[in-house]
Structure 1
Amino acid sequence: MSREVAGVDSQAGPPVAIRPEAIRNVLVVGAAGAGKTTLVERLLVEAGVLNRAGTTEDGTTVCDFDEIEHRQQRSVALALAPLVHDGVKVNLLDAPGYVDYLGEVRAGLRAADCALFVIAANEGVDEPTRALWRECADVAMPRVLVVTKLDHARADVDGVVAQAQGVFGDRVLPVHLHDDGRVVGLITDDHGHEAERAALIEGIIEESEDETLMERYLAGEPIDTDVLVRDLELAVARGSFHPVVPVDSTSGAGATELLDLMVSAFPSPLEHRLPTVYTPAGRPGPAIACDPAGPLVAEVVKTTTDPYVGRVSLVRVFSGTVRPDASVHVSGHRSAWAGTGTDPASSHPDHDEVERIGSLSVPLGKTQRTAPAVIAGDLCAIGRLRRAETSDTLASVDLPLVLEPWRMPEPQLPVAIRVTARSDEDKLGLGLQRLAAEDPTLRVEHSDETHQIVLWTMGEAHADVLLDRLATRYGVGVEEVELRVPLRETFVRPATGHGRHVKQSGGHGQYAVCSIEVEPLAQGAGFEFVDRVVGGAVPRQFIPSVEKGVRAQMAQGVESGHPMVDLRVTLTDGKAHSVDSSDMAFQTAGGLALRDAATRGGTCLLEPVDEVEVVVADALVGTVMGDLSARRGKVLGSEPAGEPGLVVVRAQVPQLELRRYSADLRSITHGSASFTRAFARYERVPDPVATTLEPAPD
């Protein structure tokens, strides 16, 4: 027997929203250790989803989302925890707080309509918290603050609120206070906190669209509570007002008040801006609305692989209704927006196809509860989508559409790996393909030049999780090896070279002789071949053969095994045989001539240099500049980053010195800085450094 409460249909199975206005999608964010997961568990207990022991009625623990999280003792993935409060379905999305999982946070921001910002009363607002706040502000996400760990010996709720106001603005105002172990409201009654209540009411009224409200309030007219709550909700939805609620996750004080605030003041999916829609060809698509009867437009915000049920896609439905066993059009065009087009080597190539939806369920931790249908504004899990990756769009087969993907952070820590057993090489390819489908912040690079498989990751913790998953999920043992940087070789000074390839072995012989002059060119000039042969010393048909041989030798390198660049080679003389000369013979002679010239002119190694931009707090600029200089970098200058307290430091740094820069920068700035890099040019490797480098692999 089903029971309809407001906009939720509660059955023996999971609660199913039947109206978008009865849904709240809330992303729980905050720095690592702030108490996010503990808060989510307490809210599930207060809503009756969990018992006091933190388990469901059958004893299942639902907040243990990943075995890797047990070993690392930190959340590493976005996790969904739905509940129902006062007839409204609240989808809590618990985001990792560690900086390596910024991609999970951005996926959660795409799926949510409001962010619940968790700050520990004993820690306050640190640099990672500020960075997360900027992430939310960049996408205009409404934010509400929760102060946790109220029972900690160093808890200072008032101090944390004052600090948050100083950092995030004066529209950070408590709607509840922690008073002697209790949480009291400021809107509904005056509990002896006249100053705090007056500040809250004035803050709400200043955000009101009713211009007469302030006059009436200052004249002493009582303002109806419903009016204050309505204006509070509108201000929160606009992102201009940030209520603060203290919650004691241990005792539960404040949990019900927070749930009440979610239902009354958090924006529903109807109030949040929808992503931009395009056709698969990249043209603007038709306008969509959060309407269960509209065309289907949904997005995969997370992908996981279950050893028993296969790939599971966590999906946010923006328009229409998802039903099990229906056919959907799957579009993945992240690379098109990233500028890589349809590069087949991309870890996330473009694709368009039709797939059939398998099971439809509402996840809670590891448990999956079957759902009959999921409407616009809600979230669900879909099984058996073979090709759908994170950020892919699911749409109607009759009206294929694609959502512009959210901006993913660029992975900056390269990790070179190799299998520990040759028998695992085939499994490695499949495992990496599946990891890339799950995690758009992972970029897999197969380097033909260095002969390495390189995982571009978000940091050391991210890399550890990826290698752990390769071993535990896909049975592939890998080990990390030293990353090779693609070097180049060139001549130090002009030189001449002589190539002689003469062989006679009883039959058709080989005969080719050539003389060349080699000059080093300016960096980036490339290769030039000049023909100055006179008198037919080298027959015209074999001159291209000499050039081909020189180019082949340049590609192989001469002394170090790295490709040679930036040379002008002039063919000056040679000899040929009317019978024994051939194309191949002159190719060989050309290569020998280049090697001979290298012994006279000498060669040097060139290393790639990157343009680096570091965004860092003003107080740490000197530390960052000193570290860049110690890496043989050339600091070009600094400038304001466009946000108070932040500075952009620009430098040019050899790639050899950037191999672990992501981890080192995080260490010296306590996780508060970020950087980007782009190739600038090649420069000569200093002799003391060159002597430490190994030859290129065969």
Structure 2
Amino acid sequence: MGDRAKTPAGAAGRAPTADRPSDIRNVVLVGHSGSGKTTLVEALAQTAGALNRAGRVEDGGTVSDHDEIERRRHRSVQLSLVPVGWDGCKVNLIDTPGYADFVGELRAGLRAADAALFVVSAAQEADAVAASTRALWEECAAVGMPRAVVVTHLDTARTGFTELTEVCAGLFGRDDPDAVLPLYLPVHGPEAADGHAPATGLIGLLTERILDYSTGVRREEPPDEGRRELIAEARARLIEGIIAESEDETLMDRYLGGEPIDPEVLVADLEKAVARGAFHPVLAAAPAVEGGTQGLGSVELLELITRGFPSPLEHGPRAVTTPDGRPRPPVVCDPEGPLVAEVVKTTTDPYVGRLSLVRVFSGTLRPDETVHVCGHGLADARGTGTEPGAGRDEQDPDAQDLHEADDRVGALTSPFGKQQRPVAHCVAGDLACVARLGHAETGDTVSAKDDPLLMEPWTLPEPLLPLAVRAHGKADEDRLSQGLARLVAEDPALRLEQNPDTRQMVLWCLGEAHQDVALERLRERHGVRVDAVPYKVALRETFGGASSGRGRHVKQSGGHGQYAICEIDVEPLPPGSGVEFVDEVVGGAVPRPFVTSVEKGVRAQAARGIATGHPLVDVRVTLRDGKAHSVDSSDAAFQTAGALALREAAADVPVHLLEPVDEVGVLVPDEYVGPVMSDLSGRRGRVVGTDPAGPGRTLVRAEVPETEIVRYAIDLRSVSHGTGRFDRTYARHEPVPPHLAQKLRQQTENNT
């Protein structure tokens, strides 16, 4: 930040280490898909000396090609950790997916980090910045996480650096636009044949020096006179922005009085303001030119990270409890304190087995020690109810079932591309991979065996896009349950449901890409092939009026016969009443033991359905009369007669089809309220109200049939340009309009 070149502290082939939390920086890269986060991580790793001159890991790969699914898709689908060394610090660069379907990985990265780099592409339209990153910026602001902005793709820019900086200031600095300002201005080389002029260097606004990267190695030069006027206005605004956030209240008066301010004082105040989350510098970055070792802006970024971003020591205490919920004193970042670590990611390695990426918040984690693994997991925290809409609401953590076990820590490693480099220990504030924590799931707490503790897991959006699956073959059936359980343990954004109404196994996902990746992982990592089948909505039936039925089951076959006759009345009940059974038999026409048999038969037939195969609900069945035989009557015979009587009663009245209706809350920016309400109305939804939900955002509340919003997780992104999110809760079942009932019956028959 003071434009002083630093030398790398790491080297290709060796894992950087840290023995003190003060020497650690945990930084998460956040940004839209395609903004260049992974390329930026590789550029920083190369500048830090972690890659060879060709930008490769020593085994020939790169830091981003360790996952076969990512290579095929040309897109990050999971969190990855790239540790590098710079200026005496270990910098943990946490690369996260930019696509909305993989927000679970992004949330894990935010949990593991102490600061964030928001990566914005100049090659994308300016409004893409607003759609993809504004909500995350506000989320980081709510917890006081320090942030900086990095502009990439300046060589193919649609939007100029200055213009994009102003866009970011307007979006990210709504309360104080002068808190989002550039530290450097790009210097562009000659215009190429395609009309683009690649950035070849930077102008340091504080020191007024030119930082030339045109050869792939950073060189510092004095500015020529032609550029002094260019930077004067930007430099003055930057100085005023830094002074405004300075803790020295006399500095502004001195500056306005014309007193020159020492650049070192400005740099020191800038570093403090960045660490407090009060000032957010904007920088530019680009990969190194062919044959170069330093990418544009990479030195400046590493300098910002090591000097401006806080160490884990500056993060506040973390709340913990005992596994049974009793409060304990918050833990601080102390290598000598009680062991408290959290599993932020779980993967499966074909050679090592389960591999857990952990962030240590207190104490020191060492290989071969026995630890306590405890948690309710992120998927469990949402609930896994099987009633329509169950599990969609946040539940009381105290009511959740914990899983606990003691595990022996395997080898500790530091990941880098395909490699896992051994480390001796992991101190408070650092991250490492732990082998063979067989009981650990993402979100679990790892603590000392004799002093078990529990941290509350981070929150995730509810997965609301269903994917019904079944085993592809007999061999897959045997491994299906175990494979799905492992898949959900690895990916906290997945929820597994076994629906008793539709008898389907359903994976609830965040989007179509999330579905595809889940199936690929299930096949490639766990050896289970499944087929996707049409998702069934839990429809139900009810009587459209009162009716009566007679069930007669009489058979004589030479030996012991079957004899049962029963007569019932059926009447509809209010929604939510279920199935009631009333005995009004007089005179012992149906012996008491067989009354229970009739009820069993009626309820079994109601569960199977009458007309369309969906459960029958909201009726009262009254047993009026019947006949029995002293020898041939039996429990089975009267169960059959009860079922026959219910089917006969249904033949004389219309049977209404019922569909589940959900209470839906859609949170969108104000400019999309109209399109969202119009879209909900087109789905037979009833908008019941709107509520303000913070600056520039509105919560639209509606009641919508579930059959109309099975794919709403995808459709809402289109309607709201990726800015909206929603939740849904089962409300009740309602009759399907007659003109749609026949269509649903046909769909049910086709899906059966």
CA drift at 1:140: 3.2
| Higher mean C-alpha displacement, 148-157 vs 294-303 | 148-157
Q: Deviations for 1:246-276, whole angstroms, at most 9, x for unmatched residues?
A: 1223442211111111111111101123432
Please give the secondary structure, in 2, of the residue aligned with 1:118.
strand
- Please give the alpha-carbon distance, in whole angstroms, between the structure 1 residues aligned to 2:59 and 2:537: 54
What one-letter code is carried by the residue in structure 1 that aligns with 2:438?
A: R
8 Å CA contact retained: 2:8, 2:87 = no
Select 2:310's aligned residue among 241, 244, 267: 267
Q: Which residue of 2 aligns with 1:376?
A: 428
Residue 666 in structure 1 maps to residue 717 in structure 2: yes
Residue 40 in structure 1 maps to residue 41 in structure 2: yes
Q: Which residue of 1 aligns with 2:681?
A: 629
- Please give the alpha-carbon distance, in whole angstroms, between the structure 2 residues aligned to 1:56 and 1:569: 73
Please give the secondary structure, in 2, of the residue aligned with 1:82.
strand
Q: Following superposition of structure 1 onto structure 2, how do residues 616-695 of structure 1 map, counting pairs within 5 Å?
A: 616-644=668-696, 646-691=697-742, 692-695=746-749
1:489–1:11 CA distance, 2 compared to 1 (3 A): closer
Q: Which residue of 2 aligns with 1:280?
A: 323
- Please give the alpha-carbon distance, in whole angstroms, between the structure 1 residues aligned to 2:36 and 2:463: 27
Q: Following superposition of structure 1 onto structure 2, how do residues 384-533 of structure 1 map, counting pairs within 5 Å?
A: 384-533=436-585
Please give the secondary structure, in 2, of the residue aligned with 1:48.
coil
1:164–1:109 CA distance, 2 compared to 1 (3 A): same
Q: Which residue of 2 aligns with 1:166?
A: 170
Q: Which residue of 2 aligns with 1:75?
A: 76
- Please give the alpha-carbon distance, in whole angstroms, between the structure 2 residues aligned to 1:88 and 1:282: 37
8 Å CA contact retained: 1:411, 1:442 = yes
Q: Which residue of 2 aligns with 1:143?
A: 147
Q: Which residue of 1 aligns with 2:270?
A: 232
8 Å CA contact retained: 1:444, 1:456 = yes
Q: Which residue of 1 aligns with 2:213?
A: none
- Please give the alpha-carbon distance, in whole angstroms, between the structure 2 residues aligned to 1:627 and 1:381: 46
- Please give the alpha-carbon distance, in whole angstroms, between the structure 2 residues aligned to 1:186 and 1:581: 97
8 Å CA contact retained: 1:7, 1:88 = no
Q: Which residue of 2 aligns with 1:177?
A: 185
| Paired residues, number | 692
- Please give the alpha-carbon distance, in whole angstroms, between the structure 2 residues aligned to 1:12 and 1:634: 61
- Please give the alpha-carbon distance, in whole angstroms, between the structure 2 residues aligned to 1:78 and 1:672: 22
1:527–1:342 CA distance, 2 compared to 1 (3 A): closer
Q: Which residue of 2 aligns with 1:61?
A: 62
Q: Deviations for 1:373-406, whole angstroms, at most 9, x for unmatched residues?
A: 1111111111111111111111111211111100
- Please give the alpha-carbon distance, in whole angstroms, between the structure 2 residues aligned to 1:11 and 1:185: 29
Select 2:638's aligned residue among 572, 586, 592: 586
Q: Which residue of 2 aligns with 1:208?
A: 246
Q: Which residue of 1 aligns with 2:212?
A: none
1:153–1:535 CA distance, 2 compared to 1 (3 A): closer
Q: Which residue of 2 aligns with 1:244?
A: 282
8 Å CA contact retained: 1:274, 1:318 = no
Residue 256 in structure 1 maps to residue 294 in structure 2: no
1:553–1:697 CA distance, 2 compared to 1 (3 A): farther
Q: Which residue of 2 aligns with 1:560?
A: 612
| Higher mean C-alpha displacement, 479-488 vs 613-622 | 613-622
Structure 1: runs of 5+ lacking an equivalent: none
1:547–1:237 CA distance, 2 compared to 1 (3 A): same
Q: Which residue of 1 aligns with 2:351?
A: 308
Q: Deviations for 1:432-484, whole angstroms, at most 9, x for unmatched residues?
A: 12211110111111223222221111100011111111222223222211101
Please give the secondary structure, in 1, of the residue aligned with 2:335.
coil
8 Å CA contact retained: 1:451, 1:697 = no
Taking only aligned residues, the RMSD between alpha carbons, in angstroms, comes to 2.6
What one-letter code is carried by the residue in structure 2 that aligns with 1:321?
A: T
Q: Deviations for 1:507-537, whole angstroms, at most 9, x for unmatched residues?
A: 4433322221111111112232233333333
Structure 2: runs of 5+ lacking an equivalent: 1-5, 189-199, 210-222, 290-294, 393-399
Please give the secondary structure, in 2, of the residue aligned with 1:215.
helix
Q: Which residue of 1 aligns with 2:220?
A: none
Please give the secondary structure, in 1, of the residue aligned with 2:156.
coil
1:274–1:415 CA distance, 2 compared to 1 (3 A): farther
Please give the secondary structure, in 2, of the residue aligned with 1:199.
helix
Q: Deviations for 1:62-102, whole angstroms, at most 9, x for unmatched residues?
A: 32131111111110011111111111111100111000111
8 Å CA contact retained: 1:521, 1:568 = yes
CA drift at 1:697: 8.1
Q: Which residue of 1 aligns with 2:197?
A: none
- Please give the alpha-carbon distance, in whole angstroms, between the structure 2 residues aligned to 1:9 and 1:72: 31
- Please give the alpha-carbon distance, in whole angstroms, between the structure 2 residues aligned to 1:30 and 1:302: 20
- Please give the alpha-carbon distance, in whole angstroms, between the structure 1 residues aligned to 2:10 and 2:187: 37
| Higher mean C-alpha displacement, 655-664 vs 592-601 | 655-664
CA drift at 1:9: 9.5
Q: Deviations for 1:515-564, whole angstroms, at most 9, x for unmatched residues?
A: 21111111112232233333333334433332232222211212222111
What one-letter code is carried by the residue in structure 2 that aligns with 1:45?
A: Q
1:226–1:354 CA distance, 2 compared to 1 (3 A): farther
Q: Percent identity?
A: 58
Residue 595 in structure 1 maps to residue 647 in structure 2: yes
8 Å CA contact retained: 2:379, 2:493 = no
CA drift at 1:143: 0.9
Please give the secondary structure, in 2, of the residue aligned with 1:234.
helix
